[in-house]
Amino acid sequence: MRRPVLRASATIATVLALLLTGCTGAGPDGADAGGTIRLSFQSLAWQKESVDANKELVKEWNAAHPRIQVDYVQGSWDNVHDQLLTSFEGGEAPDIIHDASDDLADFAYGGYLADLRTLLPDRLTQDIPQQSWRTATFGDGVYGVPFLQEPRVLIANTEILEESGVRVPTPSEPWSWPEFRRVTAKLTGKGRFGVAWPLKEPVSVTLNLGLSAGGQLFHRDADGKVTIRFDEGDGVMPGTVRDQVGTDRSAARTALGMSGSDTLPGFFGGRYAMVPLGFSYRQQVVEQAPEGFEWTVLPAPAGSGGLAQGVSPQTLSVAEDSPHKEEAVQFIDFLLRPANMVRLARGDWMLPTGTQALADPALHTAEHGWATGTALARDLRPAPAQSVRGYPEWKDKVATPALQEYYSGAIGAGELRKRLVDDGNRVLARYQR
């Protein structure tokens, strides 16, 4: 999931908004002097369409529920973990919390989030598939409602594809990883690379796309203990990228240190034929592409695991300290009605998790690749490290530097395996004593 880096003013605005929320005259039970229940909803929506959709839905709720009023609070992806931790410890957490499933583990195990199992309506639990619910399940509890998700796709220059004569993949007939490597070599020409891999943050894309080749890396035994193994399937995706960069010269070495947004100018200029990006990047392509530029959305390569890939959906949670958990869940249920979930998904250019929302015709159009993305939804799985305690430390201290060095050619596959596994298991062991 894409998390934009916002200006410092966003952080200041979040803090001020939270302070103001605590000064609305609400009593200790969250109700004002007139008996109206006031709930704070911290949203991390940042794109204008998404912010507008969230605010409109809050307004609609408030108009229909005069005794349960929701105050919209603007949060920020760039500081949400630290900001939430501070608010939890200070007893000032929002009632309803927008976050991502891969950020929930510490809060769930720390007792800061409410277990939603007895609070959620049957309509919602039945509409969202179990594979999505697993992303917000920690131990025996469910600590968030997964509602938006995005696959990683290939955004390709249509003109270059057509001129090359390569087979164009579809969700029903995707490229295999070996075929993808051959295609990128064929698309490479004078002043042009077949693909640009933006791997400034290489861990999540490596793990999530690795599922398509049967990679898992993290393995949980019957006692719940997690260990790291680097099996054959774990090496397919990173090995392909390494070969494209170092052997075939079909992938731009300079892109390895880029973010997804950094690659778009080169993509529009014809320097890269394809760029693997999160599905929501389509909005930037629509807004920034030069007039007449033609592009298409293709599925990521498939392997022994088919089109499977890991995702960390956006979630809505309820603070354990909220005095009005039932009312908070009622608002979440309203926000995630099928038609409303479609509005939120289209505002963020992502996919809803709900099966009814996914069936909406608006998400099955060829325009901007919506139909391709929707066809991939059934193959989305919880990210491999979704509930692994110690993952953030392993990611920052072990996996990120090791993968960066591997992709650049500084170390080989053997050293990569050693560092990910040996150093990684030492990190995880400290969290599982």
What digits encode the pLDDT tens for the residues 250-275?
A: 999 999 999 999 999 999 999 999 99
408: Cβ contacts below 8 Å, ≥ 6 apart: 245, 253, 256
| Position 28 pLDDT exceeds 70 | no
Is the model's pLDDT at 21 over the cut of 50? no
- Same structural domain for residues 90 and 222? no
**Whole-structure pTM value:** 0.88
The residue out of 302, 332, 352 marking a domain boundary is 352
Tokens of 152: 């990683």
Do 118 and 157 lie in one domain? The reply is: no
| Residue 22: pLDDT over 50 | no
C-alpha dihedral sign at 385, 389, 392, 398: negative
**In the structure, what pLDDT confidence band is assigned to residue 390 with cuts at 50, 70 and 90?**
confident
- Is residue 261 domain-shared with residue 279, that is, in the same domain? yes
Find the range with the poorest average confidence among 8-22, 329-343, 397-411: 8-22
At position 292, the amino acid (one-letter code) is G
* Better pLDDT: 338 or 109: 338
Q: Residue 402: name the closest of 247, 232, 228, 278 by CA.
A: 228
Alpha-carbon distance of 321 to 93, in angstroms, equals: 8
Cβ pair 207, 383 in contact under 8 A: yes
Q: How far apart are CA 155 and CA 171, in angstroms?
A: 14
Closest CA relative to residue 147, chosen from 169, 174, 127, 123: 127
- Per-residue confidence (pLDDT) for residue 31, from 0 to 100: 63
Same domain? For 229 and 345 the reply is no
Reference 152, options 355, 308, 6, 364; nearest CA is: 308
The reply to whether 1 falls in a domain is no
Q: Which domain holds residue 89?
A: 8-143+314-352
Q: Are 215 and 286 in the same domain?
A: yes
Structurally, the chain folds into a number of domains equal to: 2
Of 301, 334, 352, which marks where a domain is finished? 352
169 with 265, same domain: the answer is yes
Least confident of 109-113, 172-176, 210-214, 384-388: 384-388
pLDDT of 202 strictly over 80: yes
φ, ψ (nearest 5 deg) of residue 277: -140, 160
**Is residue 37 very low, low, confident or very high in pLDDT (cuts 50, 70, 90)?**
very high
* Residues 88 and 214 grouped into a single domain: no
Q: Which residue has the higher pLDDT, 257 or 31?
A: 257
What is the DSSP code (8-state) at residue 340?
Answer: H
Q: Is residue 335 part of a domain?
A: yes
Give the confidence band of 223 by pLDDT, cuts at 50, 70, 90.
confident
**Given a cut of 60, is residue 2 above it in pLDDT?**
no
Residue 94 lies in a domain: yes
Q: Are residues 194 and 244 in the same domain?
A: yes
Can you tell me the distance from the alpha carbon of 304 to that of 195, in angstroms, rounded to the nearest whole number?
Answer: 22
Query: Does residue 100 share a domain with residue 27?
Result: yes
Q: What is the pLDDT of residues 317-349, one digit of tens each?
A: 999 999 999 999 999 999 999 999 999 999 999
Q: How confident is the model at residue 392 (pLDDT cuts 50, 70, 90)?
A: confident
What is the residue-wise DSSP string for 130-171? HHHHGGGEETTEE--EEEEE--EEEEEEHHHHHHHTPPPP-S
Between vectors from CA 153 to CA 152 and to CA 156, what angle results, nearest 5°? 150
Residues 46 and 181 both lie in one domain: no
In a domain, 362, yes or no: no
Q: Residue 98 belongs to a domain with what CATH number? A: 3.40.190.10
Task: Write down the pLDDT at residue 245.
Answer: 97
Please say if the pLDDT value at position 106 is more than 90: no
Are both 259 and 304 inside the same structural domain? yes
> How confident is residue 385, by pLDDT bands cut at 50, 70 and 90?
confident
Percent of the chain with pLDDT over 70: 92
Domain contains 3: no
Residue 358 located in a structural domain: no
Instruction: Say if residues 267 and 155 touch (Cβ distance below 8 Å).
Output: yes
Is 372 domain-assigned? no
Q: Does any domain span residue 368?
A: no
The pair of structure tokens assigned to 105 is: 């583990």
Residues 48 and 20 in one domain: yes
Given a contact cutoff of 8 angstroms between Cβ atoms, the answer to whether 276 and 152 are in contact is yes
The mean pLDDT value of the chain amounts to: 92
